[in-house]
Structure 1
Amino acid sequence: MLADDQGVAVVGSRRVSPSGRQVAEDLAIRLTERGLTVVSGLAAGVDTCAHRAAIRVGGRTVAVIGTGIRRHCPPENEGLQQAVAEHGAVFSQFWPDRGPDKTTFPVRNGTMSGYSPATITVEAGEWSRRCSTS
């Protein structure tokens, strides 16, 4: 984390609705307009929308991923992971080739909540709380 970096995590459902997608994009844009970093997990759905919107408006975005740095989850976000690295940073606390499993994402969520003083959840299913850090 940069000393003067203030980030807000934007997280939520991987199966985001069209209205949730719009909310995630609008949030990311408004946060970057205020000089804040958009932090998310590079997952499908809300995370992808937030990262892309921040990049589109020239903002800083940071991904805390649930795999090793040489892996991509979902695989279709490989290009987005590179774009996030170019517009901010990509962090992983796992060995570089570590793949995803049921333990890596809750650990990632804890790291993300430690990095970001605030978290905004856009659409989350009933079982999303299972991955919370509380």
Structure 2
Amino acid sequence: MLGISVAVTTGGFFLIGISENLPMLYFGSVWIGVGLSWFLPQTQLMIGGAVSREQSTYAYGVNGAISNAGQFLSALILGELAVGMGISDERGMILMASWGYVLLTIFCIGLTLLWNRRRR
């Protein structure tokens, strides 16, 4: 489910990136929300399954801190990439982020397949 949720989120980013009107932009935002609503519970289940019950709360906190650090760093990285690639408009930034999500989708699907193979 993790790979699917990231793929749905990616689709939402692409819809926003190619939107020509406000309804299409809103539709893309809804897709992103659907993808994230599947992603977050799945992440919590994966953390809960990876550590003992006593360690879960701490592991959730560490995951939150890491994800916040990633959000902070991604703005810096995207800013530098945009300058290097000559992107200066919002649509270009959204499309660049969408391609990043494509790579993330491929990574998450591979990770999910690897995890399922190891569980068996």
Q: Kindly indicate whether structure 1 or structure 2 has the higher relative contact order, using CA contacts under 8 Å at least 6 residues apart.
A: 2
Higher strand share: 1
Q: Which structure has the highest helix share of the two?
A: 2
TM-score normalised by length of structure 1: 0.32
TM-score (norm 2): 0.34
Which of the two has higher C-alpha Rg? 2
